[in-house]
Amino acid sequence: MDTYDVVLVAIGVSVLGAAVLPRLLANFPLSFPMVYVALGMVLFALPLGLEAPDPVAQPVLTEHLAEMVVIVSLMGVGLQIDRRVGWRRWRITWRLLAFAMPLMIALTAVVGWWAGLAPATALLLGAVLAPTDPVLASDVQVDAPGEGGEDEVRFALTSEAGLNDALAFPFTYAAIAAALAAASGAGISSWIGAWVVDDLVLKIVIGLAVGVAGGWLAGSFLFRFPHESRPARSAEGFVALGVTLFVYGTTELLHGYGFLAVFVAAVTVRMRERSSDFHGVLHRFVENGERVLSALLLVLLGGAVVGGILAPLGWSGAIVGVALVLVVRPLTAGIALSRSRLPRSHRWAIAFFGIRGMGSIYYLAFAATRAPFPGMDQVWAIATFVVLLSVVIHGATATPVMNFIDLRERARALRAGASTAAIDLRTRPAGLDVAPDQGSEDR
């Protein structure tokens, strides 16, 4: 049997499935990632002559594959968000980034150290498993541009995933610096100052600046020029891909965080001419590309499981993985949101759906090529196990949990509407019509 032909068939099935599966699975406790990981496991377990992928042995290839999936997904996530950026409008997002994420990294590092990992390796484990995933979290994200579905739960999970995929970078660099210092016998004082200035401050500033500038320029080109100057309809979708690659590459060349720049550029484009239907064109193109790329990577992840990437996991690693998904993320996000005004069900839904995925794979491959980390085989096993656990648990619960929240919201809205109507009938003079409040979004 010709392996090349088998690969072509597998790619064809993956691409076709990426187009139809999300709609077919919409009302079932299954998710797109669950199906594709299972497909990969079956495909590489069959006697077809396919060699199982090994991300541990090929970290550079793994890094670039995951990198492409993440940056395309970040552009799509940014284009989805209808809500204007603001301190109050995004306050739940800021809580998750400022409190939940650092606390998640710290607790994960402690748990990893308990499992026997070296300090630098434990810090790396915390950094790579800190970002929630914009690729695998489509079931709990906001709807397409202009289509609504932007309740607090979906908005918080979408915006958090868009930003923390970039903000895990400083902590990954800290782990790399700590590993290099440990290998050379140097102490923390040898790298902490440069890390704060370069990795924690400068690269974030560059990413924000390039993202805003790139998004503004792209928005000006798309929405400010006369209609006849815009790209031909057949090439409209490629504009999103061009902006994504240009902004990401430019930011990386300038020594900034490209993930951050891509998401910020997408949000900036979305904020320009918000009523244009062109946002939908851009988003659909990016979404389709993301599905195809993520489908292929998920199949490879399933193949890696068959190939034995989980072999070094052990009982301690399995306990760490379960604790991270079911205890550490819900606990840290719950603490961050404890003083928010969200209903309790919303707070715990946001805390529970800390979906892990391609971002974690990317960061792990990125770090593996830049410093020697003791126990990397076990870290790969734990990270893969966490991603698989997240795919299964969050994939099976996303639809019923979000449906429950939607029903609760509709019931609350109906009660509020009935109460408002009763008060209105009792208090306003006969014949006086009061226009509904149109400015609540900006308050």
What's the CATH code of the domain at 397?
1.20.1530.20
Residue written as token pair 């800021």:
94
Report if residue 379 sits inside a domain.
yes
Q: What angle do CA 308, 64, 322 make, to 5 degrees?
A: 45
> For every residue of 62-104, which 3-state class applies, written as one string?
HHHHHHHHHHHHHHHHHHHCCCCCCCCCCHHHHHHHHHHHHHH
Report if residue 82 sits inside a domain.
yes
The pLDDT of residue 437: 38
Residue 353 is classified by DSSP as -
Report if residue 135 sits inside a domain.
yes
**How many structural domains compose the chain?**
1
Give 232-258 pLDDT, tens digit per residue: 555 666 778 888 999 999 999 999 999
Q: What is the mean pLDDT of the chain?
A: 84
Query: Which of 211, 202, 290, 282 has its CA nearest to residue 246?
Result: 211
Helix, strand, coil proportions of the chain in percent (round to 5)? 75, 0, 25
Residue pair 272/212 in contact (Cβ under 8 Å)? The answer is no
Domain span including residue 329? 3-436
The pLDDT of residue 427: 46
Average pLDDT in the 156-161 region?
A: 92
Residue written as token pair 């610096």:
177
Query: Which of 362, 158, 163, 365 has its CA nearest to residue 262?
Result: 163
Top pLDDT among 268 and 412 is at 268
The pLDDT of residue 399: 81
The pLDDT of residue 441: 39
Is the pLDDT at 189 greater than 90, yes or no? no
Q: How confident is the model at residue 198 (pLDDT cuts 50, 70, 90)?
A: very high
How many of the other CB atoms lie within 10 Å of CB of 45?
A: 15
Give 375-425 pLDDT, tens digit per residue: 999 999 999 999 999 999 988 888 888 888 888 778 877 877 755 554 454
Is the pLDDT at 267 greater than 90, yes or no? yes
Report if residue 443 sits inside a domain.
no
Burial 386-396 (b: 16+ CB within 10 A, else e): bbbbbbbbbbe
Report if residue 441 sits inside a domain.
no
State pTM to two decimals.
0.87
Give 82-140 pLDDT, tens digit per residue: 888 888 899 999 999 999 999 999 999 999 999 999 999 999 999 999 988 876 767 78
Alpha carbons 416 and 413: distance in angstroms, whole number: 5
Q: How confident is the model at residue 354 (pLDDT cuts 50, 70, 90)?
A: confident
Is the pLDDT at 147 greater than 80, yes or no? no
Residue type at 425 in one-letter notation: L
Report if residue 365 sits inside a domain.
yes
Residue 372: which H helix or E strand, with range?
Answer: none
